[in-house]
Structure 1
Amino acid sequence: MIVADVMTRNVITISPDATVEEAVNIMLSRHISGLFVVDKAGDLAGVVTEGDLLRRDELGTQRNRSWWLRLLASPAKQALDFTQANGRFVRDVMTEDVLSIAQDAPLEDVVATMEKHRIKRLPVTTDGRVVGVVSRADLLRALIGRERNAAPMATDDRTIRAAILAALEAQSWAPATTLNVTVTEGVVDVWGTITNEQERRGIRVIVENTAGVKEVHDHLVYIEPYTGMVIDAPDEQT
């Protein structure tokens, strides 16, 4: 999937010449935590978020640096802090350096950017113009949509078994050579040995995600790699 498949196209934006009060009213009335700032030419100029408005003179939360921190902070940084705490317009408080992404970018790029920069949303741009926004919520909605559309296919036991074994072979972490799978009317029994509980969880996910599987019985035996202690599978314990 690409960005265009999941992004929200009706983006609420604001002018850099709008007041801080206008920005706050829009965020509160629309139940959103940020606004992309678009200039008169329609180009992306920045973003203003709740975080940009936390250090405000009206709240008494402006930065009050100790004398030695003031010595370390450059005059430019001190002036910026003052402007953000006292400025009346969006242009005074917005963040100008905004990351963006293209409509045809894969979702992997979206997730990687969000993780790296610890952000929740990205503007989608074409030639500098904002054409949409992709957020974590959009990714979750896409996930739910795929789950709903992925209805289990009716298939025979032999096909189910072959699909499970192929999926196990495709994973480098899966101990495929020590596993065996039997399928009876869609009920899967998994046998074999594992050396950590994460393997058990991963194997179960592979089986449960295979089309046609109705139920999974876990007979995997856990062998502690350092002591050799054997722990029976959950379905074998009484």
Structure 2
Amino acid sequence: MQANDVMTQNVITVEPDTQVREIARLLMENRISAVPVVDAGGKVLGIVSEGDLMRRVENGTDQRKSWWLKSIFTGANDAGSYVKSHGRKASEIMTPKPWTIEESMPLEDVARLLEKHHIKRVPVVRNDKLVGIVSRANLLQGLALTSTQPSQAPADDRAIRDAIMKEIEDNAGVRIGGINVLVENGNVELWGLVDAPEQRTAAQVAAENTDGVNKVENNLGLAPRGVGGY
């Protein structure tokens, strides 16, 4: 299997000028832990994670004093940390120029990339434009499914996956951003979180009614308030 077999599509993104407060709202409402920062053409400029926002909270109301004292007693030129803790826009607090991958990268190579660079997720690009994101959870689901299978998934499986995700998004009343669909030889696994039991059933019905599906394993869970995704 490859990156495009497990990646989360329809990724929530922000622009460089998006305010920190808006970013926090997006993370909470969509139950995700990071958002790519993209330009008008869809090129990935950076990533803002919940960790970036938490650093601001940890600094609290004394963040200005803490930065000033650190500069005096350590002699460090910590301008970058100052911007990270005081910035008000995505472009000021994001991790710039993040690693990206192509859709065709085998999952084994994606795993090595995440491990080597100690990152939790990686944007997927096509012609330098964002088309998805692969998180550690996506990766583990895919690797578990294909541990005894070749890395190249049949084209029919990709068509089935695309059809299921389109049906869920367009007609099942479920937010596709919280769901991942894996297909191997027509066998489907549904992963992720939904808001209600009815949505869990709706996603399964959408998969079962898709041409080419042999069986469906429904691993969807109900999302506790505040739980993050990718």
TM category, shorter: 0.5 to 0.7
Larger CA deviation: 51-60 vs 97-106: 51-60
| Two-structure CA RMSD over aligned residues (Å) | 2.3
**CA distance, structure 2, for counterparts of residue 105 and residue 60 of structure 1:** 44
The question of whether the paired residues in 1 share the 8 Å contact of 2:2 and 2:106 is answered with yes
**CA distance, structure 1, for counterparts of residue 47 and residue 112 of structure 2:** 20
**TM-score with structure 2 length normalisation?**
0.57
Q: 1:51 to 1:6 in 2, by over 3 A?
A: same
Q: 1:32 to 1:61 in 2, by over 3 A?
A: farther
Q: Which runs of 4+ in 1 moved over 3 A?
A: 60-64, 143-147
Is the counterpart of residue 67 in structure 1 residue 72 in structure 2? yes
The question of whether the paired residues in 2 share the 8 Å contact of 1:103 and 1:125 is answered with yes
**TM-score with structure 1 length normalisation?**
0.55
In the other structure, the counterpart of 1:33 is: 33
**CA distance, structure 2, for counterparts of residue 107 and residue 61 of structure 1:** 44
Q: 1:6 to 1:86 in 2, by over 3 A?
A: same
1:127 Cα deviation from its structure 2 partner? 2.1
State how 1:1-238 maps to structure 2 within 5 Å. Answer: 1-56=1-56, 59-60=60-61, 62=63, 63-64=66-67, 65=70, 67-69=72-74, 71=75, 73-74=76-77, 78-143=78-143, 145-146=145-146
- SS in structure 1 of the partner of residue 122 of structure 2: strand
The question of whether the paired residues in 2 share the 8 Å contact of 1:42 and 1:129 is answered with yes
In the other structure, the counterpart of 2:171 is: none
Q: Bigger relative contact order, structure 1 or 2, given CA contacts below 8 A and separation 6+?
A: 2
The question of whether the paired residues in 2 share the 8 Å contact of 1:17 and 1:91 is answered with yes
Question: Tell me, which stretches of 5 or more residues in structure 2 are unaligned?
Answer: 150-230
1:38 Cα deviation from its structure 2 partner? 0.6
The question of whether the paired residues in 1 share the 8 Å contact of 2:44 and 2:97 is answered with no
Question: Tell me, which stretches of 5 or more residues in structure 1 are unaligned?
Answer: 150-238
Structure with the greater alpha carbon radius of gyration: 1
1:56 Cα deviation from its structure 2 partner? 2.1
- SS in structure 1 of the partner of residue 102 of structure 2: coil
Sequence identity of aligned pairs in percent?
41
- Give the letter for the 1:115 counterpart: E
Deviations 1:138-177 (A, max 9, x none): 1233245458x9xxxxxxxxxxxxxxxxxxxxxxxxxxxx
The question of whether the paired residues in 2 share the 8 Å contact of 1:54 and 1:61 is answered with no
Q: 1:26 to 1:61 in 2, by over 3 A?
A: farther
Q: 1:114 to 1:51 in 2, by over 3 A?
A: same
- SS in structure 2 of the partner of residue 55 of structure 1: helix
